[in-house]
Amino acid sequence: MSSTSNVLMRLVASSYAVAEKAATITRNVMSSGDLGIVEKTGANDLQTAADRLVQKSICTSLARTFPQITLIGEEDLPTEEVEEALIETAQYDEILKYTCPQQYSHIKEEELVVWVDPLDGTKEYTEGLLDHVTILIGIAYKGKAIAGVINQPYYNYQAGDKAVLGRTIWGVLGVGAFGFELKEVPAGTHIVTTTRSHSSKLVNDCIAAVNPGKVIRVGGAGNKIIQLIEGQASAYVFASPGCKKWDTCAPEAILHAVGGKLTDIHGNAFEYHKDVKHMNSAGVLAALRNFDYYSSRVPDSVKQALVP
Ligand code: AMP
Ligand code: MG
Ligand code: MG
């Protein structure tokens, strides 16, 4: 089956298996007790041994199976030999049973750009807020996020010994998203999910303008999109620079695959071609339903402060 499947579905199937290996690496680093924390631009921008090992694992594994794709990972790492133990060349065959949408069936490997956030929510990982952490592999074609994998290595970690630890969510535009149960916040209820460690006056002014009944402050872009698709929050509002393309590519593809929308704070679509600026300078706005309502509430003062 795999040899006849097209490159997009094979890449998603490989990304799923690679993300599961990444989850094991993430848990192993935590249980080793030595996180190897390095400050990048400051105390709110951290890198751990898990970020480093997982990026090596994901990028080397995918490059081995798909030598022509462009891979862009968050971490700036020295080029060095990667141990075989970090490499995963298996694929999750279940994904190959789905038919690739016709518009993606002739994609060539070299036309795909893969955005990798080896650990999203690193600050929360170092603080023991383990279910905020995700591993993000986003796939773009012609500048658009078309498929993605989100692994949550600590899903169920407080649910008792019998619960399966960790899960992988995947999605492709035109196919759907899988690995979770789609739920919506009740109509008319406005629950905003936003950053817990990168707040600012602008971030809070924008949230206030939405007039939500509740605000949830959690780490991670992947985690916040999971809240939207599982009915825990109705909008993700982040009126600030800080999120990068590797934070939004996989979450955007999965949200769009179930009919939601993710853009910058102006409502402009993000581009994911290989030469695009990494920083999402004009923030993030996302919702599963009623995106236009949230978009209409963003104050002009916030828009003027955030130049794309
Ligand atoms: P948060 O919602 O604060 O967890 O942010 C979501 C993603 O964007 C995480 O990967 C953060 O590291 C990143 N991010 C957001 N704001 C900043 C910032 N000011 N500096 C560095 N990274 C940021
Ligand atoms: Mg991130
Ligand atoms: Mg990261």
**For the residues of 143-167, what is the DSSP string, one character each?**
TEEEEEEEEETTTTTTS-TTSPP-E
- Give me ligand 3 centre to Cα 135, in Å: 8
Q: What is the mean pLDDT of the chain?
A: 96
**Exposure b/e, 21-57, CB count within 10 A at least 16 = b:** bbbebbbebbeeeebeeeeeeeeeebbbbbbbbbbbb
pLDDT at 285: 98
Indicate if 51 belongs to the active site: yes
CA distance 189 to 231: 11
Q: Which residues sit in the known binding site for Mg(2+)?
A: 74, 117, 119-120, 247
pLDDT digits (tens, 9 = 90+) for 142-165: 999 999 999 999 999 999 889 999
Q: Which atom of ligand 1 is nearest to the CA of 195?
A: 2
In 3D space, the residue among 180, 167, 140 whose CA is nearest the CA of residue 11 turns out to be 140
127, 243, 265: residue to mutate for ligand 1 pocket, most atoms within 8 A of CB = 243
pLDDT at 161: 87
pTM here is 0.98
**Per-residue pLDDT, 1:** 43
What residue ranges of the chain have pLDDT lower than 50? 1-3
Name beta bridge partners: 39.
46
Contacts with 196 (C-beta within 8 Å, 6 or more apart), sequence order: 124, 217, 218, 219
Looking at residue 119, its amino acid is: L
Reply yes or no on whether 122 is catalytic. Answer: yes
Kindly name the residue from 122, 195, 248, 263 that is annotated as catalytic: 122
- Whole-number Å distance between alpha carbons of 66 and 129: 34
Query: Would you state the pLDDT for residue 5?
Result: 73
46 C-beta closer than 6 A to ligand 1: no
How far is residue 247 from each of residues 80, 162, 188, 272, 292, measured CA to CA in Å?
Answer: 25, 31, 28, 11, 22
pLDDT at residue number 3:
43
H helices present in 175-289, as ranges: 201-210, 221-229, 245-257
- Judge if the beta carbon of residue 53 lies within 6 A of ligand 1: no
